[in-house]
Structure 1
């Protein structure tokens, strides 16, 4: 019976505990609490522990850490009427929690939509070549525009990065052909420069060989030696054949003269009265 009389007491204690637990709030270091009292802005609290008046005070937590927004792929037309698909990411953080809650309904969604429209606007003002070659410059331009536009919302846009630029298939083939033609042009320029330099060196060498004939002979001998070493051959210069032929002819002529001398010997002839003489 006494227990029945204590039921209201237990209920009261339970209600008090619930009220106290709901009034105690803990905010982390990277968070802030925007406090409203009866619908009116009271201020910002945190980090740490604080108390709210139940049923009178309310709060909204705001994360101050850097947040990444993935801007979905956008199909747009560049200044030179080329259709491309572009996606990007936006890095931002809340710099003023009070403005982020009071000035805009959903600051994250608003920042994402603004990033999409800004991306379309900026890339529609430039040519495709600029989009492909000056991506860093475009990132800076978009970041600056977004940062200025979101400042009244208490948002600080840290960086914008264009992740990917997708081109139509025919445009990719055209760019590949253009790149190949550019590489071929550079290759021809390099080859022409090399040929020009080589012709200058050959002209200088010809003038030097003309002044010093012996240098040309030595160069010929060096070339023949290199060829013989590579092909495992014995190379005899053409002028050496003339010397060998001359030597051979001299030996042959000497042999012929010797044979003639042996063939034409004086022979003894018997004359009348016992006289004898030699006749060649």
Structure 2
């Protein structure tokens, strides 16, 4: 039951739904160096023709210098170590460039897409997914994936990050729909493995590898949560009553065996009565209140000790 989470009305439920929305985690890596290199190349491309024609000092010279600087900056570029760049030539795929320095032919080649080949973390959810016993649940999970073939990621699918997340949502609904609500919490690891296998087969054709899928929360309606809580309490009470009955049975069997022993030898019963009297007197600080029949145990004349 620890895996389930309430999904009641109110601000808490609204906040949970906002958190559970499908989203890609923010990329904290800096691309400042790429932009600085672009500005540096632009500055060099602008200053060289401007200084050579500084004597003319006309607006046409400044405009020409800006064009030269822009062409130079877009022709000579760099890519971070974790990035690959798909280059198209006249609209057709030509090559994968990077990491490091790469060049493009002006007005002929251009960078179509920048592919990050690091492991990417994305959170996704499947809202109101129906289980096999027709119970709607909201599932929140985390997906770890990476691009191993930048060419396929560029050519085989329009938007590969969105395609991976949408496939993850569909696969989640398929897996949840094959299980009853009671099986979800006990088969959590199995659900993760099934999702990883299903997504791996689908995303491989896009040049994407699914590393792992981890379920964070499974949220069920508040009314059903209360019903499950009552069911669990009733089950525990039933188990407690069964255990108590078994203990009572064991004790009664012991009493039967003790009665048989006392019946075979009356002296054992008298010794037991003397022991009970001693224990009672000790607990009550020397004062003993007991039936008169208990005194028979102290009748030494009738107690044959075998002398």
Q: TM-score range by the shorter chain?
A: 0.7 to 0.9
RMSD of equivalent CA atoms: 3.0
Residues of 2 paired with 1:159 and 1:240: CA distance?
77
* Deviation per residue, 1:94-123 (Å, 9 max, x gap): 121111111001011111222222222332
1:238 maps to 2:295: yes
Assess, with a 3 A threshold, how the Cα gap between structure 1 residues 174 and 6 changes in structure 2: closer, same or farther.
closer
Assess, with a 3 A threshold, how the Cα gap between structure 1 residues 220 and 23 changes in structure 2: closer, same or farther.
farther
Asked if the contact 1:74–1:116 (Cα under 8 Å) also holds between the matched residues in 2, the reply is no
Counterpart of 2:91 in structure 1 is 39
* Deviation per residue, 1:185-236 (Å, 9 max, x gap): 2112211221222223223333334445444333333322222232223338
1:5 maps to 2:67: no
Counterpart of 2:78 in structure 1 is 26
Higher helix share: 1
Counterpart of 2:212 in structure 1 is 159
Of the structure 1 ranges 124-133 and 8-17, higher mean CA displacement relative to structure 2 is found in 8-17
1:188 to 229, 234, 241: 241
Shift of 1:167: 2.3
Counterpart of 1:82 in structure 2 is 135
Asked if the contact 2:85–2:97 (Cα under 8 Å) also holds between the matched residues in 1, the reply is yes
Shift of 1:156: 1.2
Asked if the contact 1:92–1:155 (Cα under 8 Å) also holds between the matched residues in 2, the reply is yes
Asked if the contact 2:126–2:172 (Cα under 8 Å) also holds between the matched residues in 1, the reply is no
Question: Counterparts of 1:257-268 in structure 2 under 5 Å?
Answer: none
Shift of 1:18: 4.4
Of the structure 1 ranges 47-56 and 147-156, higher mean CA displacement relative to structure 2 is found in 47-56
Residues of 1 paired with 2:85 and 2:254: CA distance?
81
Structure 1: segments with no counterpart, 5+ residues: 244-280
Asked if the contact 1:78–1:123 (Cα under 8 Å) also holds between the matched residues in 2, the reply is yes
1:109 maps to 2:145: no
Residues of 2 paired with 1:179 and 1:185: CA distance?
10
2:176 to 113, 116, 123: 123
Assess, with a 3 A threshold, how the Cα gap between structure 1 residues 212 and 52 changes in structure 2: closer, same or farther.
farther
Counterpart of 1:57 in structure 2 is 109
The normalised TM-score by structure 2 is 0.68
Counterpart of 2:25 in structure 1 is none
- Which structure exhibits the higher relative contact order, with contacts defined as CA atoms closer than 8 Å and separated by 6 or more residues? 2
Counterpart of 2:257 in structure 1 is 204
Residues of 1 paired with 2:69 and 2:221: CA distance?
65
Asked if the contact 1:26–1:49 (Cα under 8 Å) also holds between the matched residues in 2, the reply is yes
Residues of 2 paired with 1:14 and 1:174: CA distance?
72
Question: Which protein has the larger Cα radius of gyration, Structure 1 or Structure 2?
Answer: 1
Structure 2: segments with no counterpart, 5+ residues: 1-52, 301-307
